Amino acid sequence: MMDEVPVVVVGAGPVGLAAAAEALERGLNPLVLERGESAGASVTEWAHVRMFSPWSELIAPAAGRLLESTTWQKPDDAAYPTGGDWVERYLRPLAEALGDRVRFGAEVTGVARRGRDRVVDAGRETEPLIVHVRTADGREERITARSLIDSSGTWSSPSPLGGDGLPALGERAAAEHITYRIPDLSQPAERARYAGKHVVVAGSGHSALTALVSLVALAKAAPATRISWVLRRGTVGGVFGGGAADQLPARGALGVRAQQAVDAGAVRVVTGFRTAAVEAASNGRLTLLSGDGQRVEDVDEVVVVTGFRPDLSWLSELRLELDTTLQAPVALAPLIDPNVHSCGTVPPHGVKELSHPEPGVFLAGMKSYGRAPTFLAMTGYEQVRSIVAELAGDREAAERVELVLPETGVCGGAGLFDRAESQPDGGCCGAPAEPQSVSLPGPTVR
């Protein structure tokens, strides 16, 4: 009877669909629940961003085998797609190949052990999971599941501008002039929003570099455009990455372009700036204030790319064992902690590092990294291969490593998740420098 109960996968993104393909190949019954209306709904929001990994690293093995049984045309392995290409040429065809095993407009609002809250011990090994779902038309459902793979990602929970992890004073009130995404300057409305304006980019990861490079290109066409880059860390340091030493060449090239723009004076850099408040002036412009007295004034728009964090609220009735710092599984956290690991690669990992005290429950993909900044699609594909092998009873395959990651040649562990997600300030190159204590007001940037 339990063999017919589905393995519920949350999220129809690259890792969730890969998990479903793995489960189907092993004779399990996957059911993907996606709150969006199409596969790769979050990826679609950064469709304009070109990825650091080529197609050869973006197609999960089991997913590729499933697609090869259809009329799908495999992309050129050596080409670098945009997020939009990834959706149109891979994720949507994969969802179509999975058919009715993928449900759209189905938001998971909670998961619990049947008839038991998280306090009750009895039956946790034998009772199935109950997944609470809200459909697009507002109906509520309960789905019985033999196991749960949460690959819902972190895209919907961007980190704020505030330097202490909470929104800065006035940040919410200034929401009209703040975005937490890389602007798509190919769109006329987006170009009009930023052209000729004073734009502040906050963040030190590859999303920040991507935003800077695109805004510098805009400034060449609209010379009145001014760009300020605020960093929480005390120095620019290794933010630009490894250049030619990066084995993800597109990522290395991005760092080189950003550094050239800074060196040429096209971007004004403000270091050691931890935003404490956002003030609105009578002319509609903003002033950013740091905790130590620095000011960035006459700001028209702010691009905040300071990382992401997991939404754990709907998992509150499950017994998860998460690292207190990163909110990642405790066995995985030491492998990815940016406070400890400055360079090198994150070793491939699977069910052993991703298991929790709650039987049959796994966080996979970017969500498994919690607040850690660096992730590769290949890492997620290996995670779900191992998890599904365990669910299918193939312990040997679950414990076997079937992935060799490229060395990056830069700070950043396993490398950035392919959507160019920003690492938190101070990210993978060690802890951020503490702001200096001063008795006089800090410098002002206009």
Topology (CATH level 3) of domain 175-306+424-445: FAD/NAD(P)-binding domain (3.50.50)
Cα-Cα end-to-end distance for the chain: 68
Q: What's the confidence (pLDDT) of residue 410?
A: 32
Identical fold for domains 2-156+308-399 and 175-306+424-445, yes or no, is: yes
pTM for this prediction: 0.88
| Superfamily (CATH H level) for 2-156+308-399 | FAD/NAD(P)-binding domain (3.50.50.60)
Q: What's the confidence (pLDDT) of residue 428?
A: 32
Q: What's the confidence (pLDDT) of residue 2?
A: 65
The mean per-residue pLDDT over the stretch 196-207 comes to 94
Tell me which of 125-129, 301-305, 403-407 is least confident: 403-407
Q: What's the confidence (pLDDT) of residue 5?
A: 94
The mean per-residue pLDDT over the stretch 214-242 comes to 91
- Torsion over CA: 58, 62, 63, 66 (sign): positive
Residue 405 confidence class, pLDDT cut points 50, 70, 90: low
Residue 205 confidence class, pLDDT cut points 50, 70, 90: confident
Tell me which of 147-156, 235-244, 396-405, 423-432 is least confident: 423-432
Rounded CA-CA distance 217/98 in Å is 41
Residue 248 confidence class, pLDDT cut points 50, 70, 90: low
CA-CA-CA-CA torsion for 62, 379, 400, 342, nearest 10 degrees? 170
Q: For residue range 279-318, what is the model confidence (pLDDT) as tens digits?
A: 998 888 999 999 999 999 999 999 999 999 999 999 999 9
Share above pLDDT 70 across residues of the chain, in percent, rounded to a whole number: 87
Tell me which of 117-126, 152-161, 382-391, 431-440 is least confident: 431-440
Q: What's the confidence (pLDDT) of residue 240?
A: 84
Q: What's the confidence (pLDDT) of residue 387?
A: 98
pLDDT greater than 60 at residue 207: yes
- Residues 113-123 as b or e (16 or more Cβ within 10 Å = b): beeeeeeeeee
pLDDT greater than 50 at residue 412: no
The mean per-residue pLDDT over the stretch 71-89 comes to 96
pLDDT greater than 70 at residue 432: no
Residue 418 confidence class, pLDDT cut points 50, 70, 90: very low
* Of the candidates 56, 11, 57, the residue with the CA atom closest to the CA atom of residue 36: 11
Tell me which of 206-215, 340-349, 396-405 is least confident: 340-349
Q: For residue range 333-360, what is the model confidence (pLDDT) as tens digits?
A: 999 887 775 434 577 899 999 999 999 9
Rounded CA-CA distance 278/297 in Å is 10
Q: What's the confidence (pLDDT) of residue 375?
A: 82
Q: What's the confidence (pLDDT) of residue 425?
A: 39
Domain ranges of the chain: 2-156+308-399, 175-306+424-445
More confident residue, 63 or 256: 63
* Burial class of residue 257 (count of CB atoms within 10 Å of its CB; 0-12, 13-18, 19+): middle
List of residues 6+ apart from 174 with CB closer than 8 A: 278, 280, 286, 302
pLDDT greater than 60 at residue 436: no
Q: Which token pair is 180?
A: 């937490």
Amino acid at 357: P
The average confidence (pLDDT) of the chain is: 88
Strands, sheet with 129-135, edge to edge from the N-terminal-most edge strand = 106-113, 129-135, 140-145
Contacts 24+ apart (CB under 8 A), 443-446: 443/270, 443/294, 443/295, 444/294, 444/295, 444/296, 444/297, 445/228, 445/268, 445/270, 445/294, 445/295, 445/296, 445/297, 446/198, 446/297, 446/298
